[in-house]
Amino acid sequence: MERQRGVSERAPSAALVLLFFLFRPPVLAQDRPQGDSNPSAQELARQVTANELKAQEQDRSRWSFRLEWPNSNGQLEADQVIQTTDGDLKRPLLIDGRALTDREKQKSDKQIQQLVRDPGPLRKARAQQAADAARSLRLLAMLPRACRFTYGERRGDLVQLNFSPQPNFHPPSHEAEVFHAMQGSLWVDASQSRVEEISGRLIHDVKFGGGILGRVNQGGTFEVKQAEVAAGHWELTLLKIQMQGKALFFKTIGVRENYTRSQFHPVPENLSVAEAARMIAAESRATPAPAQKTGSMN
């Protein structure tokens, strides 16, 4: 089934990143460096989590950015994405590692104009994204209670916090069970109390209903990064997730994501789909065709 490229399939908030991740095993470290008056690792995790929640809830900014990912053949694909009041509008930049043909450009233009006339698919995608974001925020709020934190390395303002499951925590949902079965590390910007990177690994199988309803297999990994794209504004820049398992009726669970977001530019908060379409058209006319790329994203 061909993907409808006019509708953004990926628009996760930084909090959404906390749905399934974390991957490097924690190293032995102290909860608080000797002779250091800084907060304990657990306290710092609590502070950063609270700040991330506040930032996510208050952020009303909208952006134009470049989205890249490898397709099933290992070829690089890329879209220009513009966030609007109705959802994320996008136009293909690369297909199978190459620039679009004139026919593909015309097809994309037609799809965009259909969404200008009827933004219903954009709104539907936005509603799903909002539900995912709300679920992720609940998991993010749970993080300091679900995990034990210890200090790792330090690189300037960046502080590593290694985490593992908190034995006395009782997950309230299937999502929380997966979340609680992870160990890994996160890097925080101590000066701004923001998460820069999270990586983790599922350390044991997670079984639902004793395995009857399904399971997620041990060894699943993820890596997530975000960056300050403008003063005080942080956005997701990389997401890699690889999970595997079996669900009810022996259907395979496959959670595989691998994409990057870059070249962020702010757009008006009240930007309409029609205005975004005009922006995309203007940029398409002004920008030379992108050079052909080959190879895959690892």
Please tell me the predicted confidence (pLDDT) of residue 46: 93
3-state class (DSSP) for residue 297? coil
Grade residue 297 by pLDDT with cuts at 50, 70 and 90: low
Please tell me the predicted confidence (pLDDT) of residue 248: 67
Please tell me the predicted confidence (pLDDT) of residue 177: 86
Measure the CA–CA gap between 25 and 164, rounded to whole angstroms: 8
Grade residue 4 by pLDDT with cuts at 50, 70 and 90: very low
The candidate with the shortest Cα–Cα distance to 128, out of 136, 139, 140, is 136
Could you count the other beta carbons within 10 Å of the beta carbon of residue 83? Answer: 22
Beta strand ranges found along 177-251 (DSSP E): 182-189, 194-202, 206-208, 214-216, 221-230, 233-247
Rounded to 10 degrees, the C-alpha dihedral 93/94/99/103 comes to -70
3-state class (DSSP) for residue 8? coil
Please tell me the predicted confidence (pLDDT) of residue 180: 86
Q: List helix spans (H) across the chain.
A: 41-58, 102-117, 120-146, 174-180, 273-286
Measure the CA–CA gap between 35 and 90, rounded to whole angstroms: 52
Could you count the other beta carbons within 10 Å of the beta carbon of residue 251? Answer: 10
Q: Examine the pLDDT at 37 and tell me if it is beyond 60.
A: no
Mean pLDDT within 14-33: 37
Please tell me the predicted confidence (pLDDT) of residue 214: 82
Measure the CA–CA gap between 272 and 107, rounded to whole angstroms: 21
Please tell me the predicted confidence (pLDDT) of residue 286: 64
